[in-house]
Structure 1
Amino acid sequence: MFKKIICCLIAMCAVFLLNTGIIHAADKKTINFIAVGDSLTEGVGDTTTQQGYTKRTAQIIADKYDVKVKTANYGKAGDRSDQILKRIKANPKAIKQLKKADVIALTVGGNDLQQTLFKGIFSKSEQDVTKYVAQAMPNYTENLIALVNFIEKQNNNAPIYLFGNYNPLYVYLANRDDLNADVKIYNDINANLASADQRVYYVSTFKTLTYGQYTTKIAREKLRASAKLANRGSLNNSMVTKALQVKAQNERNHYITTQDHYHPNDTGYDKMSALLAQKMAATKQEWLKINDKK
């Protein structure tokens, strides 16, 4: 009887310690982190060897949870949503690594949006530009669903962290409300998919990378006023062309690279990685704990 009482007390203590987080049971020792997507996954603009957010996030996770993180990066600059899917489907190594992934990160939509905007950027009004974006929504939605469904079929357990996009031209065209609205249209598609799919988590980068160091409303209002004076609120696209094509010593957004005025720089990828790590921390039970289903 005494032994039974001791065993019961030990069991009760173990349950208490687990529930209070004092001890951790069944945590994975190694995490397979697979990144899929476009140039943001490839790491364009990153001057280090960390592949943008991929290895930065891996290091944060390794340090925070005392685990080994193995990474694989399948990002390619310029790929639209349909091209990402086609490329991954044709890559046996990528499929193999997706199957054993514990975490999957995905950047998609930026090139779909960019190509749509460039088709409409010479329109006569802001409304016409947004009309082009709205017309492209069904096609992008279909492609995104197909891409996520394919990834989920390869791995029925790993959470997918789906990034949103940002407006790299905001600091030059802060008075062009339509450009922010157009980015948000695409972001809403990503966010809505995440809301409807319990395995997908949306990681928003819009405020952080769009506004950069202009974090206060007052700072953004001043920026808006200066942009209005610069282009008179018109659809003069010389500023867009200059912002995207002319290399300069300084970039007005401190998180965007001077290489192309479009992609994050090292600081931008630091910010992006921190946002992903934060979302992963809030959902760590999905990837850190050993799951018998896998």
Structure 2
Amino acid sequence: MKRRFQLILVLLVTLGFSYVGIWNQPVAAKEKATIHLVAVGDSLTEGIGDTTGQQGYTKRTAKLIAKENNVKVVTANYGKAGDRSDQIIKRLKKNKQAQKDLKNADVITLTVGGNDLQQTLFTAFLAESEADVTKTVDESIPTYTKNLEKLTDYIESQNSTAPIYLFGNYNPLYVYLANRDDINNDVKRYNAINAGMAASDSQINYVSTFSTLTYGQYKTAKQKKALVKAAVKASSGSLDNKSVQETLNGDDEEKNAYITNEDHYHPNDIGYDKMSALLVKQMQKDKKAWLGG
């Protein structure tokens, strides 16, 4: 009888520990049913050049994310054409709804720097040499860096957990000024600031669009060499600001298949498809950060 009692006691204790073990097992986090994507930035976020009403990359990205992850995606878009980095942050600070949306965001995207660089380049095109253009661009870098820091710090002050996907920029003039390596290099200088910001901040991820949108369908060395030859022949490598403006405002069909004919500057529907694909590829690498699970 005593042995039987001891055996029962051992079984109860053993079962007790087993149940404790079961209850103490970590519960797997569920993936979110709805993702709130908030897009902030300039004309690339507003979607200038998009003819489909999808706000450029924003709703295209939402559709891709929804399809690949079987999740509902709600978007809010705070893009405005022409805004520099300093203007974006001023606009956000005045917009209570934007602040609310940022606080509730699971994912935040940001396009910035294109107008800062464009305005600098248009001033620099009046310079006498390529070296002078580069000098003007270099002189603008500290201001842009400081403004970008303020902008990302502000966004993170509204939401310290949602991953931020920061786009780099591209050179829409390449197909016309292919012999102007300095312009490509100037764009890369600004992109290095965006990429550096992402490298130094674990909440920020960099999304490069330079190669895809700068070169468009001209992917081989032979194709690029032909563009350089055509640019030299047409004297399109001129530093004259007027010639650049005429290129952007011209009625000729855009040479880059990913850039719109409307202004020879912004992506067209294909270009925004490419941007969205690049963004989603980056997002899928660390989807637990915004999807959970």
Q: How high is the TM-score relative to the length of structure 2?
A: 0.90
The separation in 2 between residues aligned to 1:119 and 1:239, in whole angstroms, is: 13
CA contact (8 A) 2:177 2:236 kept: no
Give the aligned partner of residue 201 of structure 1. Answer: 205
Give the aligned partner of residue 79 of structure 1. Answer: 83
The separation in 2 between residues aligned to 1:66 and 1:179, in whole angstroms, is: 42
Q: Tell me whether 1:263 sits opposite 2:266 in the alignment.
A: yes
CA contact (8 A) 1:172 1:239 kept: no
Give the aligned partner of residue 223 of structure 2. Answer: 219
Give the aligned partner of residue 27 of structure 1. Answer: 31
Q: Tell me whether 1:165 sits opposite 2:166 in the alignment.
A: no
Question: Alpha carbons of 1:84 and 1:232: their partners in 2 closer, same or farther (altered >3 Å)?
Answer: closer
CA contact (8 A) 2:176 2:236 kept: no
The separation in 2 between residues aligned to 1:170 and 1:160, in whole angstroms, is: 28
Give the aligned partner of residue 179 of structure 1. Answer: 183
Tell me the matched-pair count. Answer: 278
Superposed displacement of residue 25, structure 1: 4.7
Structure 1, residues 38-61: CA drift from partner, whole Å, max 9, x if none?
000000000011000000000000
The separation in 1 between residues aligned to 2:237 and 2:141, in whole angstroms, is: 26
Give the aligned partner of residue 123 of structure 2. Answer: 119
SS in 1 for 2:291: coil
CA contact (8 A) 2:125 2:240 kept: no
SS in 2 for 1:287: helix
Superposed displacement of residue 239, structure 1: 3.6
Give the aligned partner of residue 252 of structure 1. Answer: 255
Superposed displacement of residue 221, structure 1: 1.4
Structure ID, larger Rg: 2
Superposed displacement of residue 238, structure 1: 4.5
Give the aligned partner of residue 153 of structure 2. Answer: 149
Give me the identity figure in percent: 60
Gaps of 5+ in 2: 1-10
SS in 1 for 2:155: helix
Q: What residue identity is the alignment partner of 2:274?
A: K
Give the aligned partner of residue 5 of structure 2. Answer: none
Gaps of 5+ in 1: 19-23
Give the aligned partner of residue 109 of structure 2. Answer: 105
Considering only aligned residues, what root-mean-square deviation do their CA atoms show, in Å?
A: 2.1
The separation in 2 between residues aligned to 1:239 and 1:174, in whole angstroms, is: 14
The separation in 1 between residues aligned to 2:251 and 2:97, in whole angstroms, is: 37
Q: Tell me whether 1:140 sits opposite 2:124 in the alignment.
A: no
SS in 2 for 1:77: coil
